[in-house]
Structure 1
Amino acid sequence: MTYTTVDKTSPIPLYLQLAEILQQHIDSGELAQGDPLPSERVLRETYDVSRSTVREAVLHLKQKGTVETRRGSGNFVKVIPTVDRDLLGIHDFDVQIEQGGHSNQVQILHFTEEHHSSRVSQLLQVEPDAPLIKVTRLRLADGEPLFIEKIYLASARFPHMKREDFSNTQVFTKKIIQDYGMDIDEVVIQLEPILLNRKEIENLGVKRHPAAGLLNERTTYNKRGEPIVFSKWVFSSNRCRHMLKIKAK
């Protein structure tokens, strides 16, 4: 439901109506990330509501993660880190996050060994009934969810891989190269716009449904041209900008 004014005859609580109005201003960009919210006095006078209604509305937005309070300064639209991703860059994503001035965290959501779809098996060039290691990780920048990463490996190629091997991308890459002798030579990337599903919306902390996202599918090959890792990265549309830099020959 869209509100432009507060309807005092509506069964919807006034603070929720006011919170929705402010959320609409944020979603439209009229109130951008880092902008201060209108003062309590301005909101009271503009929408003819009480001080308690304004405070409840702001508290509601804070609980949703849309607004933050800065001590001594007031209430602001929360800044959600946006990371620029160089698709053709030589550095891995962890390095790019840190070069952008952000802290980098990894949260492992699932670690299983299972049989998977024929498509994933075909991409990894293994038999359809061959067991695969599947790892789902939540990648964060400055403590905010950035994207969901699903990693698939052929169990036969990577025996003894453990959950903790995926807790850090540098450790994971080093283990592939040093312990298993898989020198990474090429990555093939496919991008596709998607609508996020309920679980993705929950994990990424998206406040709106439906929500647009970007699927980044990546197949990593070794120097012999063999596929060794297939992964799916799922981004919320407002968390990352993907960049291509192409030079003329």
Structure 2
Amino acid sequence: MSTAAATAAPFDPTALSDALPLPLYLQLARHLRTLIVEGRLTDQDALPGERELAETFGVSRVTVRKALRELIAEGLLHQRQGAGTFINRSPHVEQRLSTLTSFTEDIGGRGLKPDSRWLSRSAGTATPEEAMALGLRPGAEVVRLHRLRLADGTPLAIELSALPASFLPDPELVQGSLYETLRGRGHPPFRALQRLSAIRLPADQAALLGVPDGAPALYIERRTFLENGTPLEFVRSHYRGDAYDFVVELSLA
């Protein structure tokens, strides 16, 4: 594997300054983060050692160590025992919030290979939260689909979908895209409402997504509706914070 030093990585010592109000370790973390996100440090490249980075930027090894810890926590770097620190640049997806698409459509449309790993799929009585989101009576049946979503083999999101059993009576009917399955059954998704919030991943979800415990993520709740306004789906998703940008177009009223 190449090292960033061997490939003439574009480190810029002038990116750090004592005159700035930001601590030096955060300035260094910001500089390295920019190089990773822009692709100037590529996936699986090894960073130079702490001593070399300290000499390059004119800072202490403690400063370098703290900066690397920041980026490890964000999932942009990972350390291998006895081997060093490596870039972990996952597939990066930009999703526009103005269009209702499935994960499969979204990833496939960007030239990546979408895939899913089933965590569980089941049928049962709707929880109070599910019943409220889907407009169901107490005791109504729902189908739950719990999946790890991947792009080019890299885990990007964890999804838990709940749908009224009247629209999807058997979870085994879903083999690929859920939305394609629903369209094939005559229940095409028409519109959706989403709410996004920033969180830090607990240990179990971080392990599934291949990022450190506490790494940043986006938590999204979505309610999907048929054209007549009937609730069709209630989905709760956790997206890797280093892999997704959500974009919305705004205009003056």
Tell me, yes or no, whether TM beats 0.5: yes
Q: Secondary structure at the match of 2:190?
A: strand
Q: Secondary structure at the match of 2:32?
A: coil
- Root-mean-square deviation (Å): 3.3
Unaligned runs of 5+ residues in structure 1 are: 1-23, 47-60, 69-74
Instruction: Count the aligned residue pairs.
Output: 199
Q: For residues 221 and 91 of structure 1, do their structure 2 counterparts lie closer, same or farther at Cα, with a shift above 3 Å needed?
A: closer
Instruction: Choose which of 143, 157, 161 in structure 2 pairs with 1:151.
Output: 161
Residue matched to 1:21: none
Is 1:168 aligned to residue 176 of structure 2? yes
Instruction: Using the aligned pairs only, state the percent identity.
Output: 20
Residues of 2 paired with 1:203 and 1:145: CA distance?
A: 7
Is 1:239 aligned to residue 243 of structure 2? yes
Q: For residues 92 and 158 of structure 1, do their structure 2 counterparts lie closer, same or farther at Cα, with a shift above 3 Å needed?
A: closer
Q: Deviations over 1:39-79 (max 9, x none)?
A: 57x75x97xxxxxxxxxxxxxx9xxx8379xxxxxx95232
The question of whether the paired residues in 2 share the 8 Å contact of 1:67 and 1:78 is answered with no
Residues of 2 paired with 1:206 and 1:26: CA distance?
A: 21
The question of whether the paired residues in 2 share the 8 Å contact of 1:114 and 1:132 is answered with yes
Residue matched to 1:187: 192
Q: Secondary structure at the match of 2:208?
A: helix
Query: Normalization by structure 1: what TM-score?
Result: 0.67
Instruction: Choose which of 106, 122, 135 in structure 2 pairs with 1:125.
Output: 135
Residues of 2 paired with 1:199 and 1:25: CA distance?
A: 31
The question of whether the paired residues in 1 share the 8 Å contact of 2:100 and 2:191 is answered with no
Residues of 2 paired with 1:145 and 1:162: CA distance?
A: 22
Instruction: Choose which of 133, 136, 147 in structure 1 pairs with 2:146.
Output: 136
Unaligned runs of 5+ residues in structure 2 are: 1-25, 56-71
Q: Deviations over 1:65-106 (max 9, x none)?
A: 8379xxxxxx95232111111111254433332332322111
Q: How far 1:130 sits from its partner (Å)?
A: 1.8
Query: Normalization by structure 2: what TM-score?
Result: 0.66
